[in-house]
Structure 1
């Protein structure tokens, strides 16, 4: 297998891993929202009697989720194997592949412990956040494979954003989005959808933690607005970039969040909110990677990376 063919295989496995992990996050939310979190009350067996048990609806839902988790392990393991056997050390393709594998395996262990500890909210929170880490690493792998296959044309002007204030704003969006995910999981841990009746919840007032979460989201959107204003002043076409896609999804997420809060957190809206949060995280990581690659390109050309130019992330594809 030639080097280019190996990297193409790596890229395909990374793409499948990203999509699969995103689907798995939503599937996990469905398990929780249907009250099936303890449909299998043991791990790795479903229960003390059977390894696989679909005798009840809750057990069947949890078994399907476990099956999907195992299926995602196939491209994840394949990505690490290809990275080890077909890429050079120092190529920048190995560490994200190994990182994805490590976090996915760790998440399987966390999920098992969560079941054995009757869905303790801190463990359920960690389960979700580890999945976000896996997605981020898989996106890094996908980005690096794409760059290795097609470095792209040399820019005629140093692109933006990547350094200076623009780069700081992109970094702030990433940090605040991650913080919004963390505070969102705290709201979940204090809310009614525990995955099973009569299991432990965080002892926080849900209204209070929801307001903290909302404040973080609003701060993130304001930072994104500041970045959009700076970029649009140079080139109005920037509003068709990754930043505009991020802003649109963030606004929809905010609307869903308020709607679910004021309507008693119905399951359908909660599932939509989890899916939206996952998509927003994907867009956040992609935007950060785009900014970083342009910063590096600008540095290599010997010019500041935040001079006028266009932030050319594409909103047309999630991965």
Structure 2
């Protein structure tokens, strides 16, 4: 029998010995688990059990079965580090690199997802935290610099909250632009609907208009009206119960509206008796004060056209 054959037999004998150790170690672990299960069953039998619905018993049994299945160790778990190194030398002829130790956990407790992920991460990185590369640092610095430059380019007045006067000026400008919308009636109506939505317009109407036809000296009182398109006045909320007010662009402005509908109290204008107007150019919005009932707080200025 040659030297090569003796060496091969010697290696086979070593492998058999290692496998026998594995079997004995696994059998020992299985015996320990069996004893633990028997102990659990004895305690469960000794403890008084209350009557529970059958469905609850089935759920508990399923959970215990799942836990027991997760607790069954794999072959890798049954090997200690020394035995793993012996197997590596027997099969490959070289020592295996010492593995990164995973965090210890209580005996018999199944490993949860976080523990498994931590163990995989530790094995992959060798226990070292990754260090950001120079390219990542450069990209982050470039993004930060770009964001700061974009912020510097924003005008200061856009970063602060606009004052009521500035908002009223925007409201008046966009209102006057409604008359310049070109296209079909549908497109013009859509522009007005967008305006109402953008400025959260509240519709208003003089509630004592009929009474003022006979008693024009009475102060007009205004109430909210829905839908907004049916109102005589459109008001944008300014806060503290105040509204910037313009006429409804569809309003027919005649003698009745002037004398009793609140237009002469709300706006200074170039209105002339006997004429009927349907176009308005607002120079300054009126201001209404609203509680339960609204009243004119400050007159506006407008030009009317036939």
TM-score when normalising by structure 2:
0.23
TM-score when normalising by structure 1:
0.23
Tell me which protein shows more strand as a share of its residues: 2
Bigger-Rg structure (1/2): 2
Q: Greater relative contact order: 1 or 2 (C-alpha under 8 angstroms, separation 6 or more)?
A: 1
Tell me which protein shows more helix as a share of its residues: 1
